[in-house]
Amino acid sequence: AASVSSAAALLAPQPATKPLTARSVLASPVDAPWSPGSWRNYEAKQIPKYDEEKLRKAEEELAGSAPLVFAGEVRTLMSDLGRACKGDGFVIFGGDCAESFDEFSVDHVRDTFRVILQMALICTYGGGQPVIKIGRMAGQFAKPRSSSTETIDGVTLPSYQGDNINEDKFTAEAREPNPSRMVKAYHQCAQTLNILRAFSTGGYADLSRLHNWNLDFVEQTQQGSQYRRLATKVEESLRFMRAIGVDTTTPEFTQSNFYTAHECLLLPYEQAMTREDSTTGRWYDCSAHLLWVGERTRQPGLAHFEFVRGIQNPVGVKISDKASPDDVIEILDTFNPKNVPGKVTLITRMSADKLREHLPSVLNRVKAEGRAALWVCDPVHGNTYTSSNGFKTRDVAAIKAEIQAFFDVHEQCGTHAGGIHLEMTGKDVTECVGGDMNAVTVDGPRGLDTKYLTHCDPRLNSAQALEIAFMVAERLRG
C-alpha cells in the first residue's frame, strides 16, 4: 500500500545540508552523504535566481502540501520497468514539451490520455508486448534553455523558462522568475492527476470502450480506420474470452495503470515535493512517478546529478551522441549502484545517423559489463529545425527514421528496444511536418501556421502519433 509519511513528518524540516568540507570536495559525489537539499552544494544550471524570501515561502507551502504521487505507486512502476528492462515490456512516454497554464483543461488532459491509450493498444495487440504508459504530464513545466537571456530589438530579458517559472510575454515583469508560479503549477498538477486517476480507473479505460477512444478528427484518417479495425479485432477477442468463461469485468480489463513523469529541472520544487517514506525511511520525490534528467543538466558534479542520485524513484537520463560509453557507465554506477532492473531508463536522442554511428559502442559496453538499463528512444529532440517560414518544427519522416535506427541497432547488439518518448498531443495541431494522411506541410493548405499552438517544442498531432505507434507495433512483432 502507498505509505508516505504523516503530515507532521512531511512538515518536519529536511536534513540541513552541511557546508562542504575539504573531504567532501575531494570525495566523489557517490561517497558523500545525500539529503534532499545536498544539491545546493553543487553548481546548479538552468535554475533561476529568485527573490530569496518569496522562494522560501513557496517552498514552505509546497513542503506542507499533499504528495502528488505515492511511494507504493512508484514501486509498482519500478517493477513494471524492471520487467521491461529484462525484455518483457515496452514503454510509451508521451505528452506536451511543456504544459502550460493557458492550455490546461479537462479535455486537453483527456485527449492526450486517450491517444496514449490507443498507442498502447496498438503496441500491445499488434506488438504482443505489455505496454507501460507514462504521461509527460502533471509536472512537465520547467524548460532548459540554450541561453539564459533573449534579446529582441536591442532589449535583453531573461529567457522564458516554462509557466512554473515565468511568463512567455516579452516584458521585464513577465519574464521575472516568480516562485508563486511553482505553487500554481502544483495545483494544476493535482487537478491533472485527479483527471488521470479518474479516467484510468473509473471506466473510461475499459477495454470494452475501445471505439470511443478514437478522436473525431482522427476518424477520417487512414490511422483512424486502421485503429477502428484493430479495435474491432480486440472486441472479437473479448467476446470469445467471455464465451469461454473468462471474466472480462476484472481490473485487468477495465482499468489501466497510468504513470506520470517530467524533467527534474526545478530543484527547489523537486526538493519540496520529496518526502520520507514511513515504511522504508527512504526518500521519494512525490512530484511524479519517474523523473528524468535532461541532456543539458545530467553532468556529474552538477546539482541535478546530485539530487537525482538519492531519490528512490525510477529515473531517466537523456543521452545524446555526446555521451561516451564511460559517461554512461558513470551514470549507471551513481544512479543504480545495486544494478536494480527498472531503476535507470536511458533515453537516447541523437537523430538516426548519429544513433547508428554512436549507440552500438554504448550498448556493447553496458551489455559487456552486465548493467541493467532500460533503453528508450526519444526520436524528437535530435530532429528539431526551423522551417523556411520560421517555425520550429520536426519532420515525421526523420522521427520514424530514428525509431527504425533504434530498433535496428538494438537488434544488431542483442539488446531490448524498450520504449519511445514522444512530444505529442491529442489535438489536431500543425506543429510537425509530414505524416501519411492529413499531412502537415510547411506552407500548404495544412501549413504549419494553421494550428501552431505549442508553448515550446513542436508536438506530433494524434494522427501522426498513431502512425508512429503502428510502425512501432510492426517492429515489435519482428
In angstroms, the CA 118 to CA 96 distance is: 17
Sequential DSSP letters for 224-246: HHHHHHHHHHHHHHHHHHHHTT-
Q: Check binding of 144 to ligand PEP (CB under 6 A).
A: yes
Category of 413 on φ-ψ map: left (φ > 0), alpha (ψ -120 to 50) or beta: alpha
Category of 334 on φ-ψ map: left (φ > 0), alpha (ψ -120 to 50) or beta: alpha
Q: Considering only CA atoms, give the Rg of the chain.
A: 22
Q: Check binding of 294 to ligand PEP (CB under 6 A).
A: yes
CB of 431 to Mn ion, least distance (A): 11
Q: Check binding of 358 to ligand PEP (CB under 6 A).
A: no
Residue 319 or residue 448: which is nearer to ligand PEP going by CB? 319
Which whole-number Å values give the CA distances from 250 to 119, 200, 207, 221, in the listed order?
22, 14, 11, 33
CB of 130 to ligand PEP, least distance (A): 24
Which residue from 175, 318, 358, 427 is in contact with ligand PEP, where contact means CB under 6 A? 318
Residue 294 interacting entry, from Mn ion, ligand PEP, none, C-beta within 5 to 8 Å by type: ligand PEP
In angstroms, the CA 436 to CA 434 distance is: 7
CB of 382 to Mn ion, least distance (A): 11
Q: Check binding of 300 to ligand PEP (CB under 6 A).
A: no
Q: Check binding of 349 to ligand PEP (CB under 6 A).
A: yes
Q: Which residues pair with 346 in a beta bridge?
A: 317, 375
Which residue from 32, 58, 68, 97 is in contact with Mn ion, where contact means CB under 5 A? 97
Binding residues for Mn ion, rule CB under 5 A, total 2
Q: Check binding of 379 to ligand PEP (CB under 6 A).
A: no
349 is in an annotated binding site: yes
Q: Check binding of 295 to ligand PEP (CB under 6 A).
A: yes
Q: Binding pattern to Mn ion, positions 431-470, x when CB under 5 A?
A: --------------------------x-------------
In angstroms, the CA 468 to CA 435 distance is: 9
Which residue from 133, 381, 394, 427 is in contact with ligand PEP, where contact means CB under 6 A? 381
Q: Check binding of 394 to ligand PEP (CB under 6 A).
A: no
Category of 243 on φ-ψ map: left (φ > 0), alpha (ψ -120 to 50) or beta: alpha
| Number of H-type helices and E-type strands within the chain | 17, 14
428 is in an annotated binding site: no
Residues 456-475 that bind ligand PEP (CB under 6 A): 457
C-alpha cell at 428: 489536431
322 is in an annotated binding site: no
CB-based contact 345:132 (threshold 8 Å): no
In angstroms, the CA 52 to CA 44 distance is: 16
CB of 263 to Mn ion, least distance (A): 9
Question: Which stretches of the chain bind Mn ion, using CB under 5 A?
Answer: 97, 457
Write out the binding residues for phosphoenolpyruvate. 136, 295-296, 318, 349
Write out the binding residues. 97, 136, 295-296, 318, 349, 381, 423, 457
Question: Which stretches of the chain bind ligand PEP, using CB under 6 A?
Answer: 97, 144, 263, 294-296, 318, 349, 381, 457
